Structure 1
Amino acid sequence: MVHEQVHATCVAIGGAGVLLRGPSGAGKSDLALRLIDGGGTDGPRLVADDRVDLSLRAGRVWARAPGPLKGLLEVRGVGIMPMKALDEAPIALVCDLVAPPLVERLPEVVTTPILDLDIPFIRLAPFEASAPAKIRLALRRLPWEAVDGDTDIIAGRIGEHS
């Protein structure tokens, strides 16, 4: 099995893993907290914070937390907090966290290679109030296969009210 560990955070929204990448202090954990705390019908859940183990199985890239970090989220100013977490999730979207001037106004749909698979990719400014909503919109818009191969089911889980 092909695998690697990356410095990132992963949240599952409606069963779809969103890999948040950026340097230390970029806002990965903060954005994950806002996605999870914002709730919604899609039930966002933590998969991994700070370090994410990625593996290639059955034509999908799967994310999970390294054992000691499972269910823990760093909340700056508060501490390391226990969170309900999923064991793993298939990566459906990679989101690089960047400064606002680096976010394109009208980006084309692009992908980035993860373990030699092309995964849909966006850049966002993580501290914008709309960042969690933009991630949900990107999941509805971008092409990817759901865990069960039916994108309509996952799109329904993400919902129109997110």
Structure 2
Amino acid sequence: MPEPVTQPEVTQPENIHATAILIGERGVLITGPSGSGKTTLALALVDHLSRRGFFSRIIGDDQLYVAGHAGRLLCRAPATIAGLAEVAGLGPRPLAFEPAGIIDLHIRLVEEAEMERFQEEVSEPIAGCPVPRIDLVRRSVSTALPAVMSRLSISPFL
């Protein structure tokens, strides 16, 4: 007798304050306090990597629904803000987006005093799913770009 087909485990979505992008097939979640540069970093990564020939798009900005799906973290923007990014001083502005993505890396934006010079490999559970995490200094796009590219093994990093 054939074994019954089991459905992948899916957790109840929770709403978190974060921004997420897709780089190729890899999802990146960016968290940090309000004003820490989540949107700025996301837009800089999308622009920088698009210019290098990589598919990259915003999944959602400011608020995301996250849920575990077969042991992986799935995120999507709430319908009311899907396709919008908050631009400082101007408010929400439309942009190309992807409706959902699986997250492979969590970037936590922190104060410079909280940064370790060399970080250990760390995973942090989000919605019950372990997600590799790196900490980066808030509002520091110039140092964040190579750190993210290195962590995701994007050229010139192997």
Calculate the TM-score normalised by the size of structure 1.
0.82
Q: 2:24 and 2:138 mapped to 1: Cα distance?
A: 20
* Partners of 2:68 and 2:128 within 8 A in 1: no
The reply on whether 1:91 has 2:103 as its aligned counterpart is yes
* Partners of 2:149 and 2:155 within 8 A in 1: no
The reply on whether 1:19 has 2:11 as its aligned counterpart is no
How far is 1:121 from its partner? 0.5
Q: 2:116 and 2:65 mapped to 1: Cα distance?
A: 29
* Partners of 2:124 and 2:130 within 8 A in 1: yes
Which residues of structure 1 form unaligned runs of 5+? Answer: 141-158
How far is 1:14 from its partner? 1.4
How far is 1:110 from its partner? 0.6
Q: Which amino acid aligns with 1:96?
A: R
Coordinate RMSD, CA, aligned: 1.5
Q: Secondary structure at the match of 1:95?
A: strand
* Partners of 1:18 and 1:93 within 8 A in 2: yes
Deviates more, 1:49-58 or 1:36-45: 36-45
Q: 2:56 and 2:146 mapped to 1: Cα distance?
A: 12
Q: Secondary structure at the match of 1:41?
A: coil
Q: 2:15 and 2:96 mapped to 1: Cα distance?
A: 21
Which of structure 1's runs of 4+ aligned residues deviate more than 3 A? Answer: none
Q: 1:50 and 1:59 mapped to 2: Cα distance?
A: 24
Q: How many residues align?
A: 144
* Partners of 1:91 and 1:119 within 8 A in 2: yes
Calculate the TM-score normalised by the size of structure 2.
0.84
Which residues of structure 2 form unaligned runs of 5+? Answer: 1-9
Q: Which amino acid aligns with 2:84?
A: L
* Partners of 1:47 and 1:64 within 8 A in 2: yes
Deviates more, 1:16-25 or 1:127-136: 127-136
